[in-house]
Amino acid sequence: MVSVTRAVFGDLPLGAGTVEKFQLQSDQLRVDIISWGCTITALEVKDRQGRASDVVLGFDELEGYLQKQPYFGAVVGRVANRIAKGTFMLDGKEYKLAINNGPNSLHGGVKGFDKVLWTPRVLSNGVEFSRVSPDGEEGYPGELKVWVTYTLDGGELVVNYRAQASQTTPVNLTNHSYFNLAGQGSPNIYDHEVTIEADAFLPVNEVLIPTGEIASVQGTAFDLRKPVELGKHLQEFHVNGFDHNFCLKGSKEKRFCARVYHAGSGRVLEVYTTQPGVQFYTGNFLDGTLKGKSGAVYPKHSGFCLETQSWPDAVNQFPPILPNKNFNSMKIKDCSLLYSKANSTWHTEGARALCQPVQDEYQMWVLSCHGYKKGVDLHTLYSLSCKCKQNFLCLLNSFFAPNPSSVFLSSHN
Ligand code: GLA
Protein backbone atom coordinates (compact mmCIF):
# COMPACT_ATOMS: atom_id res chain seq x y z
CA MET A 1 0.00 0.00 0.00
CA VAL A 2 1.36 3.38 -0.98
CA SER A 3 0.01 6.65 0.34
CA VAL A 4 0.54 9.96 -1.40
CA THR A 5 -0.02 13.17 0.52
CA ARG A 6 0.24 16.72 -0.71
CA ALA A 7 1.09 19.84 1.28
CA VAL A 8 2.34 23.37 0.77
CA PHE A 9 6.13 23.53 1.15
CA GLY A 10 6.56 27.29 0.73
CA ASP A 11 5.91 30.34 -1.39
CA LEU A 12 8.32 31.63 -3.99
CA PRO A 13 9.36 35.28 -3.64
CA LEU A 14 7.49 37.99 -5.57
CA GLY A 15 4.33 35.92 -5.86
CA ALA A 16 6.04 33.56 -8.32
CA GLY A 17 4.03 30.60 -7.11
CA THR A 18 3.63 28.01 -4.40
CA VAL A 19 5.95 25.04 -4.03
CA GLU A 20 4.23 21.86 -2.96
CA LYS A 21 5.61 18.79 -1.24
CA PHE A 22 4.48 15.27 -2.10
CA GLN A 23 5.11 12.55 0.39
CA LEU A 24 5.12 8.99 -0.91
CA GLN A 25 5.05 6.35 1.75
CA SER A 26 5.12 2.58 1.69
CA ASP A 27 5.95 0.13 4.45
CA GLN A 28 9.62 0.30 3.59
CA LEU A 29 10.25 3.76 2.30
CA ARG A 30 9.24 7.37 2.71
CA VAL A 31 10.20 9.95 0.15
CA ASP A 32 9.44 13.67 0.00
CA ILE A 33 9.57 15.44 -3.34
CA ILE A 34 8.87 19.09 -4.02
CA SER A 35 7.64 20.75 -7.18
CA TRP A 36 10.68 23.08 -7.23
CA GLY A 37 13.14 21.27 -9.48
CA CYS A 38 11.36 17.90 -8.90
CA THR A 39 13.64 17.76 -5.90
CA ILE A 40 13.86 14.80 -3.52
CA THR A 41 14.08 16.52 -0.16
CA ALA A 42 14.01 13.47 2.11
CA LEU A 43 14.35 9.72 1.80
CA GLU A 44 13.81 7.69 4.88
CA VAL A 45 14.89 4.08 5.09
CA LYS A 46 15.54 1.69 7.94
CA ASP A 47 18.86 0.28 9.05
CA ARG A 48 19.37 -3.35 10.00
CA GLN A 49 17.91 -2.67 13.44
CA GLY A 50 14.82 -1.15 11.91
CA ARG A 51 15.73 2.44 12.77
CA ALA A 52 14.79 4.89 10.04
CA SER A 53 17.13 7.63 8.88
CA ASP A 54 16.94 10.20 6.16
CA VAL A 55 19.75 9.33 3.76
CA VAL A 56 19.76 12.32 1.41
CA LEU A 57 21.30 15.76 1.94
CA GLY A 58 19.05 18.80 1.74
CA PHE A 59 17.30 21.60 3.57
CA ASP A 60 14.38 21.93 5.97
CA GLU A 61 12.90 24.97 4.25
CA LEU A 62 12.27 26.17 0.72
CA GLU A 63 14.76 29.04 1.21
CA GLY A 64 17.56 26.46 1.34
CA TYR A 65 16.67 25.21 -2.11
CA LEU A 66 16.39 28.73 -3.54
CA GLN A 67 19.88 29.80 -2.47
CA LYS A 68 23.03 28.94 -4.41
CA GLN A 69 23.42 25.26 -3.63
CA PRO A 70 24.84 22.20 -5.38
CA TYR A 71 21.69 20.65 -6.90
CA PHE A 72 20.67 18.72 -3.79
CA GLY A 73 18.08 16.12 -4.85
CA ALA A 74 17.07 17.93 -8.03
CA VAL A 75 16.36 16.83 -11.56
CA VAL A 76 18.95 18.52 -13.75
CA GLY A 77 18.56 19.41 -17.42
CA ARG A 78 18.09 20.26 -20.27
CA VAL A 79 21.55 18.71 -20.40
CA ALA A 80 23.03 17.36 -17.20
CA ASN A 81 26.81 17.67 -16.76
CA ARG A 82 29.13 19.90 -18.76
CA ILE A 83 29.12 21.16 -22.32
CA ALA A 84 32.56 22.57 -23.13
CA LYS A 85 32.56 26.36 -23.47
CA GLY A 86 28.78 26.14 -23.62
CA THR A 87 28.74 25.79 -27.39
CA PHE A 88 27.89 23.16 -29.94
CA MET A 89 27.03 22.86 -33.62
CA LEU A 90 23.79 21.36 -34.77
CA ASP A 91 22.52 21.20 -38.32
CA GLY A 92 25.22 23.67 -39.33
CA LYS A 93 24.26 26.20 -36.72
CA GLU A 94 26.29 27.19 -33.69
CA TYR A 95 24.43 27.38 -30.39
CA LYS A 96 25.69 29.31 -27.39
CA LEU A 97 24.45 28.28 -23.99
CA ALA A 98 24.45 30.07 -20.68
CA ILE A 99 27.90 29.68 -19.06
CA ASN A 100 27.81 28.94 -15.34
CA ASN A 101 30.82 26.79 -14.45
CA GLY A 102 34.18 28.30 -15.32
CA PRO A 103 34.18 28.41 -19.12
CA ASN A 104 31.50 25.73 -19.40
CA SER A 105 27.78 25.22 -19.20
CA LEU A 106 26.84 22.88 -16.35
CA HIS A 107 23.54 21.16 -15.59
CA GLY A 108 21.42 23.19 -17.99
CA GLY A 109 22.95 26.62 -17.44
CA VAL A 110 22.23 29.50 -15.10
CA LYS A 111 18.59 28.57 -14.65
CA GLY A 112 18.35 24.88 -15.33
CA PHE A 113 15.48 22.49 -14.70
CA ASP A 114 16.43 22.38 -11.01
CA LYS A 115 15.54 26.06 -10.63
CA VAL A 116 12.01 26.10 -11.96
CA LEU A 117 8.57 25.33 -10.64
CA TRP A 118 7.07 22.23 -12.23
CA THR A 119 3.39 21.41 -12.60
CA PRO A 120 2.46 18.47 -10.39
CA ARG A 121 -0.19 15.82 -10.92
CA VAL A 122 -0.94 13.30 -8.21
CA LEU A 123 -0.93 9.68 -9.31
CA SER A 124 -2.37 6.74 -7.40
CA ASN A 125 1.11 5.70 -6.25
CA GLY A 126 3.22 8.76 -6.92
CA VAL A 127 3.48 12.12 -8.57
CA GLU A 128 4.15 13.41 -12.06
CA PHE A 129 5.83 16.74 -12.74
CA SER A 130 5.77 18.39 -16.13
CA ARG A 131 6.94 21.59 -17.73
CA VAL A 132 7.61 23.15 -21.08
CA SER A 133 11.12 24.41 -21.60
CA PRO A 134 10.67 27.20 -24.12
CA ASP A 135 12.59 27.45 -27.39
CA GLY A 136 15.89 29.17 -26.63
CA GLU A 137 15.82 28.54 -22.89
CA GLU A 138 19.42 28.89 -21.65
CA GLY A 139 20.38 28.87 -25.34
CA TYR A 140 18.98 25.43 -26.23
CA PRO A 141 17.19 24.95 -29.53
CA GLY A 142 13.50 24.17 -29.72
CA GLU A 143 10.71 23.81 -27.24
CA LEU A 144 10.94 20.77 -25.02
CA LYS A 145 8.05 19.24 -23.12
CA VAL A 146 9.30 17.24 -20.16
CA TRP A 147 7.65 14.80 -17.79
CA VAL A 148 9.23 13.33 -14.69
CA THR A 149 7.35 10.81 -12.60
CA TYR A 150 8.18 9.39 -9.22
CA THR A 151 6.17 6.34 -8.25
CA LEU A 152 6.44 3.97 -5.36
CA ASP A 153 5.88 0.41 -6.45
CA GLY A 154 6.03 -1.92 -3.51
CA GLY A 155 9.32 -1.01 -1.95
CA GLU A 156 10.65 0.77 -5.01
CA LEU A 157 10.71 4.38 -5.97
CA VAL A 158 10.69 4.61 -9.74
CA VAL A 159 11.73 7.80 -11.46
CA ASN A 160 10.81 8.15 -15.12
CA TYR A 161 11.92 10.84 -17.50
CA ARG A 162 10.30 11.65 -20.81
CA ALA A 163 10.70 14.55 -23.18
CA GLN A 164 9.32 15.68 -26.49
CA ALA A 165 11.08 18.26 -28.64
CA SER A 166 9.79 20.55 -31.37
CA GLN A 167 13.25 20.61 -32.92
CA THR A 168 16.47 18.63 -32.67
CA THR A 169 18.14 19.37 -29.37
CA PRO A 170 20.50 17.70 -26.94
CA VAL A 171 18.75 16.31 -23.88
CA ASN A 172 20.19 14.57 -20.84
CA LEU A 173 18.21 14.33 -17.63
CA THR A 174 19.29 12.91 -14.33
CA ASN A 175 18.66 13.14 -10.61
CA HIS A 176 21.28 14.80 -8.43
CA SER A 177 20.55 13.32 -5.00
CA TYR A 178 23.45 13.23 -2.55
CA PHE A 179 23.37 10.13 -0.37
CA ASN A 180 24.93 9.31 2.91
CA LEU A 181 23.78 5.85 3.93
CA ALA A 182 24.83 6.43 7.53
CA GLY A 183 22.17 9.14 7.59
CA GLN A 184 22.38 12.66 6.22
CA GLY A 185 24.53 14.89 8.39
CA SER A 186 27.07 12.12 9.00
CA PRO A 187 30.52 13.64 8.52
CA ASN A 188 31.74 11.66 5.54
CA ILE A 189 31.24 8.65 3.28
CA TYR A 190 34.67 7.08 3.82
CA ASP A 191 33.22 3.94 5.38
CA HIS A 192 30.98 3.31 2.35
CA GLU A 193 31.94 0.43 0.07
CA VAL A 194 31.53 1.28 -3.58
CA THR A 195 31.23 -0.90 -6.66
CA ILE A 196 30.76 0.47 -10.18
CA GLU A 197 30.31 -1.90 -13.07
CA ALA A 198 32.47 -0.08 -15.60
CA ASP A 199 35.54 -1.19 -17.52
CA ALA A 200 36.26 2.34 -18.71
CA PHE A 201 35.98 5.93 -17.58
CA LEU A 202 36.47 9.36 -19.12
CA PRO A 203 39.59 11.21 -17.96
CA VAL A 204 38.94 14.96 -17.70
CA ASN A 205 40.91 18.17 -18.13
CA GLU A 206 41.31 20.88 -15.49
CA VAL A 207 37.77 22.16 -16.04
CA LEU A 208 36.30 18.64 -15.87
CA ILE A 209 35.64 18.25 -19.60
CA PRO A 210 36.47 14.77 -20.94
CA THR A 211 39.77 14.77 -22.80
CA GLY A 212 38.36 12.51 -25.51
CA GLU A 213 40.12 9.42 -24.23
CA ILE A 214 38.06 6.43 -23.17
CA ALA A 215 40.44 4.96 -20.62
CA SER A 216 40.49 1.49 -19.17
CA VAL A 217 39.97 1.39 -15.41
CA GLN A 218 42.44 -1.50 -15.10
CA GLY A 219 45.14 -0.76 -12.56
CA THR A 220 43.80 2.71 -11.77
CA ALA A 221 41.85 4.33 -8.95
CA PHE A 222 38.82 4.04 -11.22
CA ASP A 223 38.72 0.30 -11.05
CA LEU A 224 35.69 -0.09 -8.81
CA ARG A 225 34.52 -3.34 -10.33
CA LYS A 226 35.13 -5.02 -6.99
CA PRO A 227 33.98 -3.26 -3.83
CA VAL A 228 36.38 -0.72 -2.35
CA GLU A 229 36.11 1.13 0.93
CA LEU A 230 36.05 4.70 -0.22
CA GLY A 231 38.24 6.41 2.39
CA LYS A 232 41.04 3.87 2.19
CA HIS A 233 40.81 3.76 -1.57
CA LEU A 234 41.13 7.54 -1.97
CA GLN A 235 44.18 7.47 0.32
CA GLU A 236 45.78 4.57 -1.42
CA PHE A 237 45.53 6.22 -4.83
CA HIS A 238 46.12 9.76 -3.54
CA VAL A 239 42.95 11.03 -5.14
CA ASN A 240 40.90 13.94 -3.99
CA GLY A 241 37.60 12.29 -4.79
CA PHE A 242 35.64 11.26 -7.84
CA ASP A 243 33.82 13.50 -10.27
CA HIS A 244 33.95 11.35 -13.36
CA ASN A 245 31.82 9.61 -15.90
CA PHE A 246 32.09 5.84 -15.76
CA CYS A 247 31.29 4.20 -19.10
CA LEU A 248 28.70 1.53 -18.72
CA LYS A 249 28.50 -1.35 -21.07
CA GLY A 250 26.25 -0.62 -24.02
CA SER A 251 22.78 -2.03 -23.93
CA LYS A 252 19.27 -0.73 -24.20
CA GLU A 253 18.35 -2.98 -21.35
CA LYS A 254 18.37 -2.11 -17.73
CA ARG A 255 21.58 -3.35 -16.22
CA PHE A 256 23.48 -3.14 -13.01
CA CYS A 257 25.42 0.07 -12.65
CA ALA A 258 26.59 0.57 -9.09
CA ARG A 259 26.25 -0.55 -5.52
CA VAL A 260 27.12 1.22 -2.32
CA TYR A 261 27.13 -0.62 0.98
CA HIS A 262 27.35 0.92 4.42
CA ALA A 263 28.41 -1.73 6.90
CA GLY A 264 27.57 0.32 9.98
CA SER A 265 23.86 0.51 9.15
CA GLY A 266 23.54 -2.43 6.78
CA ARG A 267 22.03 -0.19 4.11
CA VAL A 268 22.77 -0.98 0.50
CA LEU A 269 22.12 1.29 -2.43
CA GLU A 270 22.00 -0.16 -5.90
CA VAL A 271 21.68 1.63 -9.20
CA TYR A 272 20.51 0.03 -12.40
CA THR A 273 20.22 2.00 -15.58
CA THR A 274 19.60 2.01 -19.29
CA GLN A 275 21.90 5.01 -19.65
CA PRO A 276 25.39 4.79 -21.15
CA GLY A 277 27.14 6.45 -18.22
CA VAL A 278 27.09 7.39 -14.59
CA GLN A 279 28.80 10.37 -12.98
CA PHE A 280 30.19 9.23 -9.68
CA TYR A 281 30.64 12.40 -7.65
CA THR A 282 31.90 12.29 -4.08
CA GLY A 283 30.80 15.75 -3.00
CA ASN A 284 34.25 17.25 -3.60
CA PHE A 285 32.89 20.79 -3.73
CA LEU A 286 30.90 20.56 -0.49
CA ASP A 287 32.66 22.81 2.01
CA GLY A 288 30.59 22.81 5.17
CA THR A 289 29.14 26.27 4.64
CA LEU A 290 25.57 25.24 3.89
CA LYS A 291 23.12 24.85 6.74
CA GLY A 292 21.39 21.57 6.08
CA LYS A 293 18.49 19.61 7.53
CA SER A 294 18.22 19.50 11.32
CA GLY A 295 21.28 21.72 11.68
CA ALA A 296 23.54 19.41 9.64
CA VAL A 297 26.61 20.80 7.92
CA TYR A 298 27.90 19.18 4.79
CA PRO A 299 31.69 19.07 4.57
CA LYS A 300 33.65 17.76 1.60
CA HIS A 301 32.90 14.08 0.98
CA SER A 302 29.81 14.03 3.20
CA GLY A 303 27.59 12.74 0.39
CA PHE A 304 27.88 11.01 -2.96
CA CYS A 305 25.90 11.16 -6.19
CA LEU A 306 25.38 8.53 -8.84
CA GLU A 307 24.07 10.51 -11.79
CA THR A 308 23.04 8.13 -14.54
CA GLN A 309 23.53 10.04 -17.75
CA SER A 310 24.69 10.40 -21.30
CA TRP A 311 28.42 11.07 -21.44
CA PRO A 312 29.55 14.60 -20.59
CA ASP A 313 30.09 16.97 -23.53
CA ALA A 314 28.74 14.28 -25.84
CA VAL A 315 27.23 16.92 -28.07
CA ASN A 316 30.76 17.99 -29.01
CA GLN A 317 32.87 14.91 -28.47
CA PHE A 318 30.82 11.93 -29.38
CA PRO A 319 29.18 12.94 -32.63
CA PRO A 320 25.48 12.41 -32.60
CA ILE A 321 23.99 9.83 -34.80
CA LEU A 322 20.85 11.39 -36.04
CA PRO A 323 18.03 9.17 -37.18
CA ASN A 324 18.42 7.76 -40.64
CA LYS A 325 17.25 4.66 -42.39
CA ASN A 326 20.43 2.72 -41.64
CA PHE A 327 20.26 3.61 -38.06
CA ASN A 328 19.28 0.28 -36.71
CA SER A 329 22.19 -1.44 -38.31
CA MET A 330 24.79 1.04 -37.17
CA LYS A 331 27.20 -0.05 -34.59
CA ILE A 332 27.14 2.45 -31.85
CA LYS A 333 29.54 2.75 -29.03
CA ASP A 334 28.60 3.46 -25.49
CA CYS A 335 28.67 7.10 -26.27
CA SER A 336 26.06 9.57 -25.51
CA LEU A 337 23.56 9.84 -28.27
CA LEU A 338 21.26 12.38 -27.04
CA TYR A 339 19.25 14.08 -29.67
CA SER A 340 15.60 14.55 -29.62
CA LYS A 341 14.14 14.59 -33.07
CA ALA A 342 11.38 16.97 -33.88
CA ASN A 343 8.02 15.59 -32.83
CA SER A 344 9.42 12.36 -31.55
CA THR A 345 9.47 11.36 -27.98
CA TRP A 346 12.86 11.13 -26.48
CA HIS A 347 13.71 8.94 -23.62
CA THR A 348 16.93 8.52 -21.83
CA GLU A 349 18.05 5.34 -23.43
CA GLY A 350 19.80 7.66 -25.86
CA ALA A 351 19.49 8.18 -29.55
CA ARG A 352 18.84 4.57 -30.26
CA ALA A 353 15.28 5.45 -29.45
CA LEU A 354 15.19 8.17 -32.01
CA CYS A 355 14.79 6.01 -35.03
CA GLN A 356 11.45 5.06 -33.64
CA PRO A 357 9.08 7.99 -33.68
CA VAL A 358 7.37 7.56 -30.36
CA GLN A 359 8.32 5.45 -27.43
CA ASP A 360 6.22 4.68 -24.43
CA GLU A 361 9.06 3.30 -22.43
CA TYR A 362 11.56 5.61 -20.92
CA GLN A 363 14.17 5.71 -18.32
CA MET A 364 13.30 4.65 -14.86
CA TRP A 365 15.28 5.16 -11.78
CA VAL A 366 13.95 3.00 -9.05
CA LEU A 367 14.71 3.33 -5.44
CA SER A 368 13.92 0.26 -3.53
CA CYS A 369 13.94 -0.67 0.06
CA HIS A 370 12.94 -4.18 0.91
CA GLY A 371 12.49 -5.12 4.49
CA TYR A 372 14.03 -8.54 4.10
CA LYS A 373 13.46 -10.89 6.93
CA LYS A 374 15.91 -13.28 8.46
CA GLY A 375 15.88 -16.55 6.62
CA VAL A 376 15.38 -15.21 3.09
CA ASP A 377 18.01 -16.95 1.08
CA LEU A 378 20.55 -14.79 -0.61
CA HIS A 379 19.68 -15.86 -4.08
CA THR A 380 16.08 -14.82 -3.60
CA LEU A 381 17.27 -11.54 -2.19
CA TYR A 382 19.44 -10.95 -5.20
CA SER A 383 16.76 -11.76 -7.72
CA LEU A 384 14.27 -9.62 -5.85
CA SER A 385 16.65 -6.73 -6.08
CA CYS A 386 16.94 -7.29 -9.82
CA LYS A 387 13.24 -7.55 -10.45
CA CYS A 388 12.63 -3.89 -11.02
CA LYS A 389 12.16 -2.76 -14.57
CA GLN A 390 14.50 -0.52 -16.52
CA ASN A 391 16.73 1.90 -14.72
CA PHE A 392 16.58 1.58 -11.02
CA LEU A 393 18.22 2.18 -7.83
CA CYS A 394 17.65 -0.09 -4.91
CA LEU A 395 18.18 0.76 -1.36
CA LEU A 396 18.02 -2.44 0.59
CA ASN A 397 17.93 -3.11 4.22
CA SER A 398 20.07 -5.97 5.22
CA PHE A 399 18.82 -7.73 8.28
CA PHE A 400 21.08 -10.66 8.11
CA ALA A 401 24.03 -10.52 5.79
CA PRO A 402 27.35 -9.53 7.34
CA ASN A 403 28.45 -8.15 4.02
CA PRO A 404 25.70 -8.18 1.44
CA SER A 405 27.75 -6.37 -1.14
CA SER A 406 30.17 -9.22 -1.49
CA VAL A 407 27.27 -11.63 -1.49
CA PHE A 408 25.69 -9.67 -4.31
CA LEU A 409 28.91 -9.63 -6.15
CA SER A 410 29.41 -13.29 -5.97
CA SER A 411 25.86 -13.76 -7.22
CA HIS A 412 26.81 -11.56 -10.11
CA ASN A 413 29.86 -13.47 -11.22
C1 GLA B 1 28.08 17.38 -10.82
C2 GLA B 1 29.39 17.78 -11.36
C3 GLA B 1 30.28 18.25 -10.27
C4 GLA B 1 29.63 19.36 -9.50
C5 GLA B 1 28.30 18.93 -9.01
C6 GLA B 1 27.57 20.06 -8.36
O7 GLA B 1 28.15 16.19 -10.18
O8 GLA B 1 30.02 16.77 -12.10
O9 GLA B 1 31.51 18.69 -10.78
O10 GLA B 1 29.49 20.47 -10.34
O11 GLA B 1 27.53 18.42 -10.06
O12 GLA B 1 28.35 20.74 -7.45
- Give the pLDDT of residue 154: 65
- Give the pLDDT of residue 293: 98
- What is the Cα–Cα distance from 367 to 30, expressed in whole angstroms? 11
- Give the pLDDT of residue 394: 31
- What is the Cα–Cα distance from 367 to 128, expressed in whole angstroms? 16
Ligand 1 site residues (CB inside 6 A) read: 70-71, 81, 106, 208, 243, 279, 281, 285, 305, 307
The alpha helices in 224-309, defined as continuous H runs, are 230-236
- Give the pLDDT of residue 216: 94
Q: Which of 128, 307, 347, 349 is catalytic?
A: 307
Q: Which of 176, 192, 262, 301 is catalytic?
A: 176
Q: How far is the CA of 80 from the centre of ligand 1 (A)?
A: 9
Q: What is the pTM of this model?
A: 0.82
Active site residue 262: no
Query: Which atom of ligand 1 lies at the shortest distance from residue 101's CA?
Result: 10
Active site residue 176: yes
Least Cα distance to 78 among 142, 34, 23 occurs for 142
- Give the pLDDT of residue 383: 36
- Give the pLDDT of residue 49: 85
Q: How many CB atoms lie within 10 A of CB 219?
A: 7
Q: How far is the CA of 385 from the centre of ligand 1 (A)?
A: 28
Helix (H, G, I), strand (E, B) or coil at 126: strand
- Give the pLDDT of residue 250: 67
Q: How many CB atoms lie within 10 A of CB 83?
A: 29
Residue located nearest, by CA, to atom 9 of ligand 1: 243
State how far Cα 149 lies from the chain centre: 14
Report whether 335 contacts 316 (CB < 8 A): no
Q: What does the pLDDT profile of the chain (413 residues) look like in tens digits?
A: 899 999 999 999 999 999 999 999 988 889 999 999 999 999 998 888 888 999 999 999 999 999 999 999 999 999 999 999 999 988 789 999 999 999 999 999 999 999 999 999 999 999 999 999 999 999 999 888 888 888 887 667 777 788 888 777 888 888 999 999 999 999 999 999 999 999 999 999 999 999 988 899 999 999 999 999 999 999 999 999 999 999 987 666 677 888 889 999 988 888 777 778 899 999 999 999 999 999 999 999 999 999 988 889 988 886 543 333 222 222 222 222 233 333 333 333 332 222 222 222 333 344 443 333 333 333 333 333 333 222 233 333 222 222 222 222 222 22
Best residue among 242, 280, 285 to mutate for probing ligand 1, ranked by most atoms within 8 Å of CB:
285
- Give the pLDDT of residue 92: 86
- Give the pLDDT of residue 7: 98
Report whether 52 contacts 44 (CB < 8 A): yes
- Give the pLDDT of residue 319: 53
- What is the Cα–Cα distance from 78 to 114, expressed in whole angstroms? 10
- Give the pLDDT of residue 333: 25
Instruction: State the Rg of the chain over Cα.
Output: 20
